[in-house]
C-alpha cells in the first residue's frame, strides 16, 4: 500500500530493530503525510484502498515509538453495527477487534509485538467507544477517528472538544458512504472549516489514488457510477 525504504528508528523497541520510514506512492499520499507532520488535526477523505488508514496508523506508531506521543487512541461511531458496543459480549478490545484489526496490525508491525502488548496493558494504546467519550480529554496523544462520516454533528462536537495539549487527531472518512439517516456530522464539520477558514487541512483522495489493487479501483469506480446513476433518477 505504501512503499518503505531503509532506515533506523529511535527508541528501545525490540532491540532497536530497523524501521523503514513511510514513503508516499502518489502526490495525495505525500500531501497527507505532510499535513500529518505539520498540523495537530487533519481530515482525510476518500474511498477504500487509498492508504489513508494505513498511513495514519503507521504515523501514529512511529510517533509513539519515537516517544513523541505517550498514547494512541482509536475510535469510531457505532452506527454501522446498529447497536451499542455495550450490547456485545467480551472485552472492549474484543468488541472493537473486527474494525480495528488493520490499524492494530499496522501499529503492532511498526513497534513490535512485545511493545504493542505492553502498551495495551498499560493503557497507552486504547480503543474508546463514542458512548463513553463524554468527560474524557486527551493530551500527548494521537487520536484516530475512523469512519467519521457516520458521526452525528453532536458526536463530532464531543470528539473535537476532547482534544487537549500536544494532541494529534486524524479524522478519517468517506462522506459518500454515510449510514446515517441525517446529514453527516463530518460533512457539516467540513463545511464549517471551509466557511470559517479554520486551520484544519482537508486531504481528499480519489479513485485515481487507490493503491490497494486494480480490482479494488475497478469496483470503487463501478459502485460510484451506480450511485451516481441512482442519484440522477
Q: How many domains does the chain have?
A: 1
What is the per-residue pLDDT for 97? 63
**Residue 21 covered by a domain:** no
d(CA 58, CA 200): 21
Model pLDDT for residues 80-119, shown as the tens digit of each residue: 444 455 544 556 556 556 778 889 999 999 999 999 999 9
SS3 of 206, please?
coil
DSSP label at 170?
Answer: E
Could you tell me if residue 1 is inside a domain?
A: no
Within-domain flag for 197: yes
What pLDDT does 1 receive? 52
Flag whether 219 is in a domain. Answer: yes
- Residue labelled with grid coordinates 463524554: 134
Whether 140 is in a domain gets the answer yes
Q: Grid coordinates standing for 210?
A: 487507490
Residue-number span of the structural domain to which 112 is assigned: 28-206+213-232
Coil vs helix vs strand at 123: coil
pLDDT tens column, 4-47: 444 334 444 544 456 788 989 999 999 999 999 999 999 999 98
pLDDT at position 203 = 97
Q: What is the pLDDT of residue 11?
A: 46
pLDDT tens digit string along 44-67? Answer: 999 888 999 999 999 999 999 999
**What is the reported pLDDT for 230?**
60
Q: What confidence tens digit (pLDDT) does each residue in 110-159 have?
A: 999 999 999 999 999 998 888 788 888 899 999 999 999 999 999 999 99
Polymer length in residues for the chain: 233
Q: Which three cell numbers stand for residue 129?
A: 467507544
* Predicted confidence (pLDDT) at residue 229 exceeds the cutoff of 70: no
pLDDT at residue number 196: 97
Q: Please indicate, yes or no, if residue 8 is contained in any of the structural domains.
A: no
Q: What single DSSP character describes residue 138?
A: B
DSSP state of 78: S
Structure confidence at residue 91 (pLDDT): 61
Tell me the three cell numbers of residue 64: 509513539
Is residue 39 included in any domain, yes or no? Answer: yes
Could you give the 3-state DSSP secondary structure of residue 66? Answer: coil
- Cα–Cα distances (Å) from 152 to 50, 75, 77, 143, in that order, read 24, 14, 9, 18
Within-domain flag for 58: yes
What integer is the mean pLDDT of 75-83? 64
Q: Note the pLDDT of residue 99.
A: 74
53 phi and psi, to 5 degrees?
-75, -40
Which CATH number is 78's domain given?
Answer: 3.40.50.300
212 has a pLDDT exceeding 80: no
- How far apart are the C-alpha atoms of 36 and 24, rounded to whole Å? 13
**Rounded-to-integer distance, Cα 21 and Cα 220, Å:** 29
Amino acid at each position: 500500500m505504501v512503499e518503505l525504504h531503509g532506515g533506523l528508528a529511535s527508541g528501545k523497541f525490540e532491540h532497536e530493530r530497523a524501521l523503514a520510514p513511510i514513503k508516499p506512492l502518489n502526490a495525495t499520499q505525500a500531501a497527507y503525510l505532510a499535513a500529518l507532520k505539520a498540523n495537530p488535526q487533519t481530515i482525510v477523505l476518500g474511498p477504500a484502498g487509498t492508504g489513508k488508514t494505513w498511513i495514519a496508523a503507521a504515523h501514529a506508531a512511529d510517533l509513539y515509538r519515537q516517544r513523541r506521543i505517550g498514547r494512541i487512541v482509536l475510535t469510531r461511531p457505532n452506527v454501522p453495527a446498529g447497536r451499542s458496543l455495550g450490547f456485545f459480549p467480551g472485552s472492549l478490545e474484543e468488541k472493537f477487534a473486527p474494525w480495528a484489526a488493520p490499524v492494530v496490525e499496522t501499529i503492532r508491525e511498526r513497534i513490535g509485538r512485545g511493545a504493542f502488548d505492553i502498551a495495551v496493558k498499560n493503557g497507552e494504546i486504547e480503543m474508546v467507544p463514542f458512548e463513553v467519550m463524554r468527560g474524557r480529554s486527551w493530551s500527548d496523544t494521537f487520536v484516530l477517528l475512523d469512519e467519521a462520516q457516520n458521526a452525528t454533528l453532536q458526536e463530532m462536537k464531543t470528539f473535537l472538544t476532547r482534544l487537549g495539549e500536544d494532541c494529534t487527531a486524524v479524522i478519517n472518512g468517506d462522506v459518500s458512504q454515510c449510514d446515517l439517516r441525517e446529514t453527516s456530522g463530518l460533512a457539516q464539520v467540513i463545511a464549517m472549516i471551509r466557511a470559517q477558514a479554520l486551520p484544519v487541512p482537508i486531504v481528499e483522495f480519489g479513485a485515481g489514488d487507490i493503491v490497494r489493487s486494480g480490482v479494488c479501483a475497478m469496483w470503487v469506480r463501478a459502485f460510484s457510477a451506480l450511485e451516481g446513476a441512482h442519484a440522477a433518477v
